[in-house]
Structure 1
Amino acid sequence: MFKAPIYASIAALFLALPALAQDDPIDLTELLQGLESDVVPLEPVQTQRSEIALTAESGVVRVLDKLTGDRIDLTLQSGETGHLGFLLVTLNECRYPENNPAGDAFISMRIHYRDEAAPVFSGWMIASSPALNALDHQRYDVWALRCITS
């Protein structure tokens, strides 16, 4: 019984809202000037610490063939190339923190698929953050595992 007038009132209100919003623009400059006096400058905080990275002679990389399920851990010397299926992985350099040799490994590698001239990946991978700079390939996954220090 009372539904039709209520719905008509609500519809009229919604139709009038855009017109009401256009009539009264808000001046943000006065609002921002009032806020500037309340801002307190913060003291600088040193958040970055420097660590020394050492270079290892070799490193370990894990390669997974998602199609066949084959998985292999490749232990490669700097400059050496290993393979799984059609994927060729060349380890350029392996670095690790001086204070924590068993810690984070940073491995620079170049990865080729089949005999293509252009690599499908070229850069650094970090063992603790594999998704940070990952190989984007439909068939293969590659992870940096660790540097071999001895």
Structure 2
Amino acid sequence: MLSASIRSAAPALLALLMLAVPASAQQSWQGGVESQPLAPPPGAVENPDSPPGGPGVPSIMAPPEGGEVRAPAPAQPEVPGQATVGPSGDIEVVQPPTEKIANKTAVFSGLDKITGRIISFDVAINETVQFGALRITPRACYTRPSTETKNTTGFVEVHEIALDGKVQPLFGGWMFASSPGLHGVEHPIYDVWLTDCKQTAPVIASPGGQQ
């Protein structure tokens, strides 16, 4: 009878013993394996929002290995003629500034559409010459150094003498020796275009003596 009562009371005693043992000891006793949280990787900062005892979350503000924080490199200034990569990833080339050489004389060619005759004549800067019914006044004439691509330009003013003797403006703007038709003088009889610039004064040919 005593042994039967002890056997009937054994489950109750076992339950009381389980309550008295800590949970960690129960896990060790039940499974035989202790579980512990993994340590955070080197240089990681534990996230305060993570549960206690949970694995650490690396922070983007964490210093690199060695504990040294490097400042971003300053932007390099653009160098003329050097290729750089822009913010969008495109390659950008900074063109060097072009150098202009001012000249004293502008060289023109003129066409008489009636006779088909073409003549060349020099005009000093800010002086006026007359070709047929046109008066040509160059205000500037620029060339480029020999190390750059040839590009001769000039700012020219052209006036027309009407049949009644009145002078009226016909053209005012830039002429390009490489592209005579880009900005040309529109006249039914005469055409004038820039061909070159000179540093020397214009040469005026004197008429030869008659025999």
Q: Under TM normalisation by the shorter chain, which class is it?
A: 0.5 to 0.7
2:173 aligned residue: 123
**Corresponding residue number in structure 2 for 1:68:** 115
How much has 1:48 moved relative to structure 2?
Answer: 4.2
**Mapped contact 2:132–2:190 kept (Cα < 8 A):** no
Does the 8 A contact of 1:102 with 1:146 survive in 2? Answer: no
1:104 equivalent in alignment to 2:132 = no
Q: Does 1:79 align with 2:126?
A: yes
User: Cα deviation per residue 1:102-146 (whole Å; 9 max; x = unaligned)?
Assistant: 932211111111154431111110100112211122211111110
CA distance 1:49–1:136, change in 2 (3 Å):
farther
CA RMSD of aligned residues (A): 2.3
Count of residue pairs brought into register by the alignment: 110
Unaligned runs of 5+ in 2: 1-87, 201-211
So what's the TM-score if we normalise by structure 1? 0.64
Residue 53 of structure 1 corresponds to 100
2:194 aligned partner:
144
Shift of 1:85: 1.3
Cα separation, partners in 2 of 1:109 and 1:89, compared to 1, 3 Å: same
Identity %: 28
| Runs of 4+ residues deviating >2 angstroms | 44-50, 98-104, 115-118
Partner of 2:4: none
CA gap of 1:44–1:80, structure 2 versus 1, over 3 A, is same
1:39-69 deviation line (CA, Å, top 9, x unaligned):
xx55043274421101101110111111222
**Which structure: greater strand fraction?**
1
TM superposition score normalised by structure 2: 0.47
- In structure 2, what residue type is equivalent to 1:112? H
- Give unmatched runs, 5+ long, in structure 1: 1-40
> What CA distance in whole angstroms lies between the structure 2 residues aligned with 1:100 and 1:65?
36
Q: Choose between structure 1 and 2: higher helix proportion.
A: 1
